[in-house]
Structure 1
Amino acid sequence: MRFLVMVKATPESEAGAGPSLEELETMSKFNEELLNEGRIVLAEGLTSSAEGVRVLFDGDAEPKLIDGPFAETKELVAGVWVLNGESLEDVVALMKRAPNPDARGGVIEIRPISE
Protein backbone atom coordinates (compact mmCIF):
# COMPACT_ATOMS: atom_id res chain seq x y z
CA MET A 1 0.00 0.00 0.00
CA ARG A 2 1.00 3.60 -0.47
CA PHE A 3 0.57 6.37 2.09
CA LEU A 4 0.68 10.15 1.89
CA VAL A 5 2.60 11.59 4.83
CA MET A 6 2.16 15.34 5.25
CA VAL A 7 4.37 17.56 7.37
CA LYS A 8 2.18 20.36 8.66
CA ALA A 9 3.30 23.96 8.15
CA THR A 10 4.17 26.33 10.98
CA PRO A 11 4.15 30.12 11.14
CA GLU A 12 7.93 29.94 10.69
CA SER A 13 7.81 27.73 7.59
CA GLU A 14 5.10 29.98 6.14
CA ALA A 15 7.38 32.97 6.73
CA GLY A 16 9.99 31.24 4.56
CA ALA A 17 12.26 30.09 7.40
CA GLY A 18 13.89 26.90 6.23
CA PRO A 19 15.36 24.17 8.40
CA SER A 20 18.83 24.58 9.87
CA LEU A 21 21.80 22.79 8.32
CA GLU A 22 21.70 20.29 11.19
CA GLU A 23 17.97 19.65 10.65
CA LEU A 24 18.55 19.19 6.90
CA GLU A 25 21.35 16.70 7.55
CA THR A 26 19.21 14.73 10.02
CA MET A 27 16.26 14.62 7.60
CA SER A 28 18.53 13.65 4.69
CA LYS A 29 19.89 10.75 6.73
CA PHE A 30 16.35 9.60 7.58
CA ASN A 31 15.28 9.88 3.93
CA GLU A 32 18.32 7.86 2.90
CA GLU A 33 17.27 5.11 5.33
CA LEU A 34 13.76 5.14 3.85
CA LEU A 35 15.20 4.97 0.34
CA ASN A 36 17.45 2.04 1.27
CA GLU A 37 14.43 0.23 2.75
CA GLY A 38 12.48 0.73 -0.50
CA ARG A 39 9.91 2.91 1.26
CA ILE A 40 10.14 6.24 -0.57
CA VAL A 41 8.09 6.85 -3.68
CA LEU A 42 8.39 10.65 -3.31
CA ALA A 43 9.75 13.09 -0.72
CA GLU A 44 9.52 16.85 -1.25
CA GLY A 45 9.39 20.08 0.70
CA LEU A 46 6.94 22.75 -0.39
CA THR A 47 7.28 26.50 -0.68
CA SER A 48 5.12 28.70 1.55
CA SER A 49 1.48 29.19 0.67
CA ALA A 50 2.34 32.72 -0.47
CA GLU A 51 3.43 31.09 -3.73
CA GLY A 52 0.26 29.00 -4.07
CA VAL A 53 -3.25 29.32 -5.42
CA ARG A 54 -6.50 27.73 -4.31
CA VAL A 55 -9.19 26.81 -6.82
CA LEU A 56 -12.69 26.93 -5.30
CA PHE A 57 -15.58 25.18 -7.02
CA ASP A 58 -19.23 26.11 -6.46
CA GLY A 59 -21.62 24.04 -8.52
CA ASP A 60 -21.49 24.90 -12.22
CA ALA A 61 -20.11 28.42 -11.66
CA GLU A 62 -16.70 29.37 -12.98
CA PRO A 63 -14.09 28.25 -10.42
CA LYS A 64 -12.81 31.07 -8.21
CA LEU A 65 -9.06 31.54 -7.69
CA ILE A 66 -7.61 32.69 -4.39
CA ASP A 67 -3.95 33.64 -4.28
CA GLY A 68 -1.87 32.76 -1.23
CA PRO A 69 -0.76 33.29 1.41
CA PHE A 70 -3.47 31.44 3.30
CA ALA A 71 -4.32 32.40 6.88
CA GLU A 72 -4.82 29.09 8.70
CA THR A 73 -1.27 27.74 9.11
CA LYS A 74 -2.50 24.64 10.96
CA GLU A 75 -4.31 23.54 7.79
CA LEU A 76 -1.29 23.97 5.51
CA VAL A 77 1.33 21.44 4.43
CA ALA A 78 5.06 22.20 4.33
CA GLY A 79 6.30 18.89 2.91
CA VAL A 80 5.20 15.45 1.78
CA TRP A 81 6.33 11.88 1.48
CA VAL A 82 4.62 9.16 -0.51
CA LEU A 83 5.70 5.95 1.17
CA ASN A 84 5.24 2.24 0.66
CA GLY A 85 3.99 0.36 3.71
CA GLU A 86 2.27 -2.85 4.76
CA SER A 87 -0.39 -1.07 6.84
CA LEU A 88 -1.21 2.21 8.53
CA GLU A 89 0.35 0.85 11.72
CA ASP A 90 3.54 0.01 9.82
CA VAL A 91 3.88 3.57 8.49
CA VAL A 92 2.99 5.07 11.88
CA ALA A 93 5.84 3.05 13.44
CA LEU A 94 8.15 4.18 10.64
CA MET A 95 7.28 7.86 11.07
CA LYS A 96 7.81 7.67 14.82
CA ARG A 97 11.49 7.29 13.84
CA ALA A 98 11.36 10.51 11.79
CA PRO A 99 13.18 13.58 13.01
CA ASN A 100 10.84 16.13 14.58
CA PRO A 101 9.91 18.41 11.65
CA ASP A 102 9.75 21.43 13.98
CA ALA A 103 11.47 21.73 17.36
CA ARG A 104 8.58 23.90 18.59
CA GLY A 105 6.09 21.06 18.02
CA GLY A 106 5.99 19.39 14.62
CA VAL A 107 2.94 17.57 13.28
CA ILE A 108 2.88 14.78 10.68
CA GLU A 109 -0.38 13.48 9.20
CA ILE A 110 -0.52 10.03 7.57
CA ARG A 111 -3.27 9.00 5.14
CA PRO A 112 -3.64 5.86 3.01
CA ILE A 113 -3.80 6.48 -0.72
CA SER A 114 -6.86 4.96 -2.42
CA GLU A 115 -5.69 2.24 -4.74
Structure 2
Amino acid sequence: MRYMLMHKVDDADPAAWSPTPEFLGRMGGFMAEVDKAGVLLAAEGLAPSSAGAAVIRVKNGTQTVVDGPFAEAKEVIAGFAILQVRDHAEAVEWAQRFGALFEDIEVEIEVRRVPDHN
Protein backbone atom coordinates (compact mmCIF):
# COMPACT_ATOMS: atom_id res chain seq x y z
CA MET A 1 0.00 0.00 0.00
CA ARG A 2 1.19 3.48 -0.78
CA TYR A 3 0.84 6.30 1.73
CA MET A 4 1.65 9.97 1.46
CA LEU A 5 3.09 11.71 4.49
CA MET A 6 2.71 15.48 4.37
CA HIS A 7 4.32 17.64 6.98
CA LYS A 8 2.82 21.03 7.71
CA VAL A 9 4.50 23.98 9.42
CA ASP A 10 3.67 27.59 10.19
CA ASP A 11 4.21 29.48 6.92
CA ALA A 12 5.25 32.63 8.84
CA ASP A 13 7.78 30.93 11.16
CA PRO A 14 11.29 31.60 9.81
CA ALA A 15 12.69 28.71 11.88
CA ALA A 16 10.44 26.28 10.00
CA TRP A 17 12.08 27.26 6.72
CA SER A 18 15.70 27.60 7.92
CA PRO A 19 16.77 24.15 9.09
CA THR A 20 19.79 23.95 11.38
CA PRO A 21 22.78 21.78 10.49
CA GLU A 22 21.75 19.46 13.34
CA PHE A 23 18.26 19.07 11.90
CA LEU A 24 19.68 18.41 8.44
CA GLY A 25 21.90 15.71 9.93
CA ARG A 26 18.94 14.03 11.64
CA MET A 27 16.92 14.30 8.41
CA GLY A 28 19.74 12.79 6.37
CA GLY A 29 19.98 9.86 8.77
CA PHE A 30 16.23 9.30 8.66
CA MET A 31 16.12 9.45 4.86
CA ALA A 32 18.96 6.92 4.65
CA GLU A 33 17.08 4.64 7.05
CA VAL A 34 13.76 4.83 5.19
CA ASP A 35 15.57 4.29 1.88
CA LYS A 36 17.51 1.30 3.25
CA ALA A 37 14.21 -0.19 4.50
CA GLY A 38 13.05 -0.12 0.87
CA VAL A 39 9.82 1.77 1.54
CA LEU A 40 10.69 5.22 0.17
CA LEU A 41 9.21 5.95 -3.27
CA ALA A 42 9.62 9.75 -3.32
CA ALA A 43 10.28 12.64 -0.95
CA GLU A 44 10.76 16.37 -1.36
CA GLY A 45 10.75 19.51 0.70
CA LEU A 46 8.78 22.53 -0.48
CA ALA A 47 9.55 26.25 -0.30
CA PRO A 48 7.41 28.66 1.75
CA SER A 49 4.52 30.34 -0.04
CA SER A 50 6.52 33.59 -0.15
CA ALA A 51 8.97 31.91 -2.57
CA GLY A 52 6.36 31.51 -5.27
CA ALA A 53 3.06 29.78 -4.78
CA ALA A 54 -0.46 30.06 -6.11
CA VAL A 55 -3.88 28.73 -5.23
CA ILE A 56 -6.47 28.26 -7.95
CA ARG A 57 -10.04 28.27 -6.70
CA VAL A 58 -12.90 27.12 -8.90
CA LYS A 59 -16.48 28.01 -8.04
CA ASN A 60 -19.35 27.49 -10.44
CA GLY A 61 -16.88 27.12 -13.31
CA THR A 62 -15.10 30.43 -12.58
CA GLN A 63 -11.43 30.29 -11.68
CA THR A 64 -9.62 32.68 -9.34
CA VAL A 65 -5.85 32.66 -8.95
CA VAL A 66 -4.36 33.86 -5.66
CA ASP A 67 -0.58 34.25 -5.50
CA GLY A 68 1.39 33.66 -2.28
CA PRO A 69 2.43 34.44 0.29
CA PHE A 70 -0.82 33.50 1.97
CA ALA A 71 -1.29 35.78 4.96
CA GLU A 72 -4.42 33.92 6.09
CA ALA A 73 -2.70 30.52 6.07
CA LYS A 74 -0.95 29.40 9.23
CA GLU A 75 -0.13 25.84 8.28
CA VAL A 76 1.18 24.95 4.84
CA ILE A 77 2.63 21.74 3.46
CA ALA A 78 6.41 22.01 3.79
CA GLY A 79 7.22 18.65 2.26
CA PHE A 80 6.02 15.16 1.50
CA ALA A 81 7.09 11.56 1.21
CA ILE A 82 5.42 8.64 -0.51
CA LEU A 83 6.03 5.29 1.11
CA GLN A 84 5.26 1.73 0.02
CA VAL A 85 4.37 -0.06 3.26
CA ARG A 86 2.40 -3.09 4.45
CA ASP A 87 -0.42 -1.17 6.10
CA HIS A 88 -1.69 2.00 7.76
CA ALA A 89 0.01 1.15 11.06
CA GLU A 90 3.44 0.99 9.39
CA ALA A 91 2.82 4.32 7.65
CA VAL A 92 1.91 5.92 10.98
CA GLU A 93 5.01 4.41 12.60
CA TRP A 94 7.27 5.98 9.94
CA ALA A 95 5.41 9.30 10.33
CA GLN A 96 5.98 9.25 14.09
CA ARG A 97 9.67 8.55 13.60
CA PHE A 98 9.82 11.42 11.12
CA GLY A 99 8.02 13.70 13.58
CA ALA A 100 10.66 12.96 16.23
CA LEU A 101 13.21 14.81 14.06
CA PHE A 102 11.48 18.12 14.76
CA GLU A 103 12.77 19.07 18.20
CA ASP A 104 12.36 22.85 18.06
CA ILE A 105 9.70 23.32 15.36
CA GLU A 106 5.98 22.69 15.65
CA VAL A 107 4.94 20.31 12.90
CA GLU A 108 1.83 18.38 11.93
CA ILE A 109 2.18 15.24 9.84
CA GLU A 110 -0.79 13.98 7.87
CA VAL A 111 -0.82 10.35 6.71
CA ARG A 112 -3.06 9.58 3.73
CA ARG A 113 -3.46 6.44 1.65
CA VAL A 114 -2.78 6.70 -2.07
CA PRO A 115 -5.37 4.41 -3.66
CA ASP A 116 -4.35 1.96 -6.35
CA HIS A 117 -6.43 2.42 -9.51
CA ASN A 118 -5.73 -0.68 -11.55
Shared topology, TM-score over 0.5?
yes
Is 1:24 matched with 2:24? yes
User: AA paired with 1:47?
Assistant: A
Check the 8 A contact 2:9/2:106 in 1, yes or no: no
* Cα separation, 2, equivalents of 1:16 and 1:106: 9
* Cα separation, 1, equivalents of 2:57 and 2:74: 18
* SS of residue matched to 1:6: strand
Which residue of structure 1 aligns with residue 7 of structure 2?
7
- Give the unaligned 5+ runs of structure 2: none
Which residue of structure 2 aligns with residue 49 of structure 1?
49
User: AA paired with 1:83?
Assistant: L
* TM-score (ref. length: structure 1): 0.87
* SS of residue matched to 2:107: coil
* TM-score (ref. length: structure 2): 0.85
- Give the unaligned 5+ runs of structure 1: none
Overall identity of the aligned pairs, in %: 26
Check the 8 A contact 2:3/2:85 in 1, yes or no: yes
User: AA paired with 1:20?
Assistant: T
Considering only aligned residues, what root-mean-square deviation do their CA atoms show, in Å?
1.8
Check the 8 A contact 2:42/2:83 in 1, yes or no: yes
Report the structure, 1 or 2, having the larger strand content: 2
